A and B are shown apart, each in its own frame.
With several copies, the nearest count.
Chain A
Amino acid sequence: MNTEIPVEQTQSCSVQEIMAVFLARDLVDGEQLQVGVGLPVPEAAVRLAHLMHGPNMELIFLGARMNVAHLDSIPLPQFGWDRRVVRWAESYSDTGHRFDHVNDWAKRVFFVGGIQVDPQGNTNLIGIGEDHRRLKFRGPGSVGTPTLTTHVGRYYIVLNTHTARTFVPKCDFISTVGWGDGDPNARSKLGLPGGGPRYCVTPLCVMDFTESPKRLRLRSVHPGVCVDEVRDHTGFDLVIPDEVPITALPTPAELTVLRERVDPGGLLRSPN
C-alpha cells in the first residue's frame, strides 16, 4: 500500500498522498469541510484544498469552525482529539448547536469510513454478523454519520483498505444510506435532503456511481494498481468501464504544500 510512486521523475509519493490530493482537487472554494476524528487522508485533503485553492473554505474540526488559509502551516493532528488543531478557530459555537443549523448544510462536505460498503454506497459502522446482540465483529458505532450524510451537500466514502470483506453485496447493517436500493430517487423517497455519496476512494482506486440505477463504478486506478486487482478485492460486481484511467498524480506544487505545510510529520507516508 505504501509503495513509492514516482512523481515527474524527481519525487515519489504514497498512496495516501494520492488519495488526499485527489480529494483536495474535488473540493470547491466556499464550501464547509467537516472531518471527524481519526481520518488522516480527509484531514490532509481539506487542509491542502484550503491552502491551494480555497481561501473561502471553512474547516470544521472538533466543533470549531476555521478559516486558516493565511497560516504558514495547518499541521495534521498527532492523535484523536488533539485540540491544538483548532487553536486558530474563529468560533466554537458549533458545540452547543452542531445539529441546530442543518438547513444550512447544502454547502457542507463530509467524509465517511465503514467496515462494510455495498454497491449502492450504503455503509456500515455497526458490526458484522446476523444477530445484533451477538455480532461476529462489533464496529465502533455510527458516530454522527447518519445525521451528517442525511443533510450534507455531498460526501465521500474514504477507506483505509480495499478488500472483498469490506466491499460486500449487502451490508449486514446500514449506518449511512448512500443510494438505498439503487433507485436514483431512493434518497428523496426517504426524505433525505442531502446530495448523497459522490466518490468512494480507497488505497486501490477511485469509484463513482452510475446514473440509474446508482451503483459503484470504477473511475480510476491508482498508479501501479491494475483493474483485475480491484475486481479481485471487491466482493460484488463492480461496474468497470472499457477504459479506466490512472488516478492523476500530485503535482510537485501540491506535494510541496502537502508535505511542508500539512503533513510535516509524514503521517501519510508512515506504514501504519
Chain B
Amino acid sequence: MASLSLRRERIISEHDAVGCIADGMTIAIGEPHPMALVRHIIRRGLRNLTVIGSGLALDILIAAGCVRKVISYYAGGGYWVPVAPAFRRAAEAGLIEVWECEEGILTSGLEAAGKGLPFLPWRGGVGTSLPQVNPDLKVFSDPINGETLIAVPAIIPDVTLLHAAESDAYGNVRHCGGPGWIDLFLHRAARRTIVQVEKVISNEEIRSNPWATTINSGVDICRMPYGAHPFYSRGYYVQDKPLVAEYFSAANVGGAELGHFLDTYCREPQSHAEYLTAIGIKRLLDLHEY
C-alpha cells in the first residue's frame, strides 16, 4: 500500500513564494489582500511590475515604486478615500500606465485565459469611453446576430497571490464564507498561484466537506496567520481601520511621511513574524470579526 507520506506537500516559505516573482512580471493580487506577501515584495524592492489589483494592496505597491502598469477596475479605498492617493499621483504624473477596464471586462479577460481562448466578448462598456482609452479592447460585431460587443483579450498573470482562511498541506484551499469575488478568476487565469492562509488544517478536515474546497491542488501555500492585516480576513478579523487610515494619510502627504510608513511597516520587519511583533498581539486580538 502506497504510503501517504509519498504525497508531496505544497507549503513554502514567504521567501520562496516571492522568490518566484521577477522584475517586470504581471502579478495579480486578490481580495482580501495577501498583505504579508505584498510587504515582502516591497521589502525585496521588485520593480516594473504589472499589477492586477485594487485598493490598499495596489496603492502601497505603487507607493513603494514597484509598479509600472496597473490593470484595475477600482483604485479607491472605500469610505472617505474616493481615489487611492499613490495611484492618483502616479497616474496623473504619467509614472504608471493604466489599463482602463471594469469588473465584467476584467473577469472576461481572466476567464478567456482560463478557458484557453484568445478573447471573450462582453457587453458592459459598449457606448462608454473604455474602448477608446484602452486600445486592447476591440469593439466588434458578433458573428451570430451582428450585435456590437467588446472583445476582451485574455489576461494572463504570471503569478497570482491570494489570501484565504485555510488549506491542507496539499494545496486544497477553503475560504471562510466564500472567496473574494475576483480571487478564483485570478487563480484560474494565472500561470502560478500562491495562497497565503490563516491556518493549515488536516486533509481529513478538507475531505469531510469537499464542496467547501474553493481552490483544489496545484497551488502553493504560505502559512501566514494575520497575513491580511491591516486588511480584513473573513471569519478571522476585521480591517485595522486606524492603520489603514494611517497609510492613506501618509500616502496623501507622500514624500518622507510615506517613506517612513513604508520603512516602518514593510521594509524594516524582515519577515511576517517581525511585522506581527511590531504590530503587537494586543492590537491583533482586538480585531476579532464579531
Contacts and interface: CB of A to CB of B under 8 A. Distances in A.
Interface string A135-150: 1111111111111101
A70 B179 contact: no
Interface residues of A, number: 79
A56 B111 CA distance: 27
B277 interface: no
B104 A99 contact: yes
Category for how many chain B residues contact A: 35 or more
Given A126-B100, A132-B100, A135-B92, A147 B125 contact: yes
Interface in A144-175: 144-148, 150-151, 173-175
* Chain B, interface SS category: loop
B128 A176 contact: yes
Contacts of A175: 102, 128-130
A93 B214 contact: yes
A99 B91 contact: no
B83 interface: yes
A126 B129 contact: yes
B103 A147 contact: yes
Contacts of A83: 177, 232, 234, 238, 289
Contacts, number: 249
A80 interface: yes
Interface stretch (B16-24, B44-52, B74-82, B261-269): B74-82
Interface of B: 1-4, 6-8, 31-32, 55, 72-80, 82-84, 87-88, 91-94, 97-98, 100-105, 107, 111, 113-116, 122-130, 132-133, 147-149, 156, 168, 170, 172, 177-181, 184, 188-189, 203, 206-207, 210-211, 213-218, 231-232, 234, 238-239, 241, 244, 289-290
Interface of A: 37-38, 40, 50-56, 58, 62-65, 67, 69-70, 72, 77-84, 86-104, 124, 126-127, 132-148, 150-151, 173-177, 180, 190-193, 272
